[in-house]
Amino acid sequence: MSPSLLHINNYTTYLEIYNPHDYTYTLPMNTLLGRVTHTPYEMHSCLFFDTSRELSSLSSQHHIFNTIELEPKSSTASNTIDKLITHIKNVQDQQQLRLILQQHMKIFDISKVTQANTHIQHTINTGDSLPISSRPYPRTIEQRRELQDEIQKMTQTNQIRPSNSPWSSPVIIHKKKDGGIRFLVDYRKLNSVT
């Protein structure tokens, strides 16, 4: 599905989906097809036609000219963008940069965890090496609790999943300046055989 403008009425809209294959495919129920976002400014849209015949083919339900007013999306990303451009003194340059950054707002939206849904299988070539299983590093009780909380959070957001692999690498927890936790995996032994 390509990016498009949609008319949403009572939580319902129509989508055009392209099937690049030469066979039919039925989408399973509740398949995520995309994300709907509001544009943070007023838009005007207008249709132009070459002939009156095309114009008369429109039903009375279609509007030739309309104005859509949408309220700005208040989010962490908007606040981040505002902070990023405060140093720019020229108001016109500031507005121009704000528009560009808002068009790419997903890059700055750190309010929720994002994930890529893919079915690609990845294989790491380890040659004829036996599986390497490293023991966890020693931790205090508080560090173990923090690690368990972080693992539970990442499991709930589908960033990680349980594994029964004979390969394992220890985890390192690094405290960020803002008090958050950075979750690191020590892959040095795995990297030595790849």
Spatial separation of the C-alpha atoms in residues 144 and 142, rounded to whole Å: 5
Residue 62 predicted with pLDDT over 50: no
Mean pLDDT over each residue of the chain, to the nearest integer: 76
Which sequence spans correspond to the domains of the chain?
A: 1-112, 141-192
Residue 189 predicted with pLDDT over 90: yes
- The pLDDT score that the predictor gives to residue 43 is 45
Spatial separation of the C-alpha atoms in residues 64 and 47, rounded to whole Å: 6
Residue 78 predicted with pLDDT over 90: no
169-179 residue pLDDT tens: 999 988 888 88
141-192 maps to CATH 3.40.50.300? no
105-120 residue pLDDT tens: 777 656 666 666 778 8
Listed in order, strand segments (DSSP E) in 39-164 are: 43-46, 65-68
Of all residues in the chain, the percent with pLDDT exceeding 70 is 72
The model's confidence at residue 35, banded by pLDDT at 50, 70 and 90, is confident
